[in-house]
A and B are shown apart, each in its own frame.
Chain A
């Protein structure tokens, strides 16, 4: 479904990604680990077209998307949910969700997508008329993920969904992500620091260090010591 090959990315003079290659197959949940500041978010931004790569190829459903502007990539069903919970504070929960359905393809399916979103996050249904500036951290996270789902998604890139949340809320968010994959078959690439939780819901994982893929493993062959070593 997603095929990234030899990706290079720069911030000015600084090379952040070096020859990164990875693939995500349809229906999979793939985790991406790695220490802070080693290029995980940059990789997601490069894939989603927000910070276009300098070299390399990104293929989504067999088509090259590395040169496309961000909104065209979203239209194809590849949706990036950033780490910062960028909700639009003056909009209600509902308006934020409807904004997620901006791509023409998604507009036609607003109703069924809304139903699914409220099924995954029942709490949002009660809060749909509330302004987003009044939500708690966990609720805001839910809106951010839900809004991504409204775009008629095939592949969801989720950047540290559990950051800054209470343990209970974290569990809820991870459960929601597992449900999104299980019930709709949406493919997920997730960046996380909560390694154990993320391992529990993913099929494979990559470890990104100093802008390069250090190694890749199926989740059932995980060696926590190996991951810890990479971090320190």
Chain B
């Protein structure tokens, strides 16, 4: 039974990756390739946010801020100083990691629950005003435009494949972290701090580690964002991207690996197709989220698990029947 379960999931992942690899060759429109790039980026953001919120139980509300820092640092270095994006993306990630670990990670060791939420929210909310104060470098409310692409003369297909590579590599890293002893330690600290100490879990190290990993990888996603799309402005830090990303995690399933990725797919593509509904777009998304939370509090992953159980039960029943005959 377990083998069946295992095979089924691995198969879906392999088919998914193959599909993503050949999709642009199947004659996808430029618009669809653009949507996929957005999906790759937001899936990275959501997966790392979930690492902090779902696995480590740290109610961070500032993860869009991580994306913005990584994006701005990489964008400014590439545009103003003419550095190669391949250099500026890691620099953006490291800067994000450093800032977040010092300003959020260290204080968060002494804070719990709602206070971490407040601290991280303030951190992200302070960024737009910092950006408008430093108009000369950051472009202020207008934002940065014409940021150099990953390589000169990049097409939409180029952007697609570069973002896809980042998407696969980063999600693989997140997966490995979740299944490492640190991943278990995050969950242990979330569920029962005192008891985690009994097992020798070092809170200081693990808490800083989860902030460092999540912020570094989200900062990298910020770099991918600016070089793939070409611009960034303080609207990225607005309320809509924030709520939509939270919605991806809730919709997909908090504390599951695949959940936020599924959620990102539903929200990114759903949000675009719902543009047909015009002003009703956010209302419809809101209704979808309300329904999910009411009927599947574990998100889409709960639905997937449930369907999987039904199917397995059905299959085993049939097998038993045929044995009897």
Kindly identify which residue among B181, B192, B195, B255 contacts A102, using a CB–CB cutoff of 8 Å: B181
Q: Does B198 contact A (CB under 8 A)?
A: yes
Contact flags (1/0) for A37-76 with B, using CB distance below 8 Å?
0000000000011100000000000000000011100110
Q: Does A90 contact B (CB under 8 A)?
A: yes
Q: How far is the CA of A102 from the CA of B201 in the complex (A)?
A: 7
Least distance between B4 CB and chain A CB atoms (Å): 13
In this complex, the interface size class of chain B, counting residues with CB under 8 Å from chain A, is 10 to 19
Least distance between A61 CB and chain B CB atoms (Å): 16
Kindly identify which residue among A74, A90, A101 contacts B198, using a CB–CB cutoff of 8 Å: A74
Least distance between B282 CB and chain A CB atoms (Å): 33
Q: How far is the CA of A86 from the CA of B195 in the complex (A)?
A: 7
Q: Decide if B192 touches A88 in the complex (CB within 8 Å).
A: yes
Kindly identify which residue among A74, A88, A98 contacts B191, using a CB–CB cutoff of 8 Å: A88
Query: B181 contacts which chain A residues (CB < 8 A)?
Result: 98-99, 101-102, 107
Q: Does A172 contact B (CB under 8 A)?
A: no
Q: How many A-B residue pairs have CB under 8 A?
A: 61
Kindly identify which residue among B184, B185, B191, B197 contacts A50, using a CB–CB cutoff of 8 Å: B197
Q: How far is the CA of A100 from the CA of B181 in the complex (A)?
A: 9
Query: B201 contacts which chain A residues (CB < 8 A)?
Result: 71, 99, 102
Q: Does B199 contact A (CB under 8 A)?
A: yes
Q: How far is the CA of A110 from the CA of B240 in the complex (A)?
A: 47
Query: A75 contacts which chain B residues (CB < 8 A)?
Result: 200
Q: Does B112 contact A (CB under 8 A)?
A: no
Contact flags (1/0) for A79-101 with B, using CB distance below 8 Å?
11110001011110001001111
Given that A71-B197, A71-B200 are contacting pairs, would A102 and B187 also be in contact in the complex, using a CB cutoff of 8 Å? no
Given contacts A79-B198, A95-B184, 20 further A-B contacts (CB under 8 A): A49-B197, A50-B194, A50-B198, A69-B197, A71-B197, A71-B200, A74-B198, A74-B199, A74-B200, A80-B198, A86-B198, A90-B187, A91-B184, A99-B185, A99-B199, A100-B199, A102-B185, A102-B200, A106-B200, A151-B200
Residues of A within 8 A of B (CB): 48-50, 69-71, 74-75, 79-82, 86, 88-91, 95, 98-103, 106-107, 129, 147, 151
What are 29 A-B residue pairs whose CB atoms fall within 8 Å in the complex? A49-B197, A50-B194, A50-B198, A71-B197, A71-B200, A71-B202, A71-B203, A80-B198, A81-B198, A82-B195, A86-B192, A86-B198, A88-B188, A88-B191, A89-B191, A90-B187, A90-B255, A91-B184, A91-B187, A95-B184, A98-B184, A99-B181, A99-B185, A100-B199, A101-B181, A102-B199, A103-B200, A106-B200, A129-B2
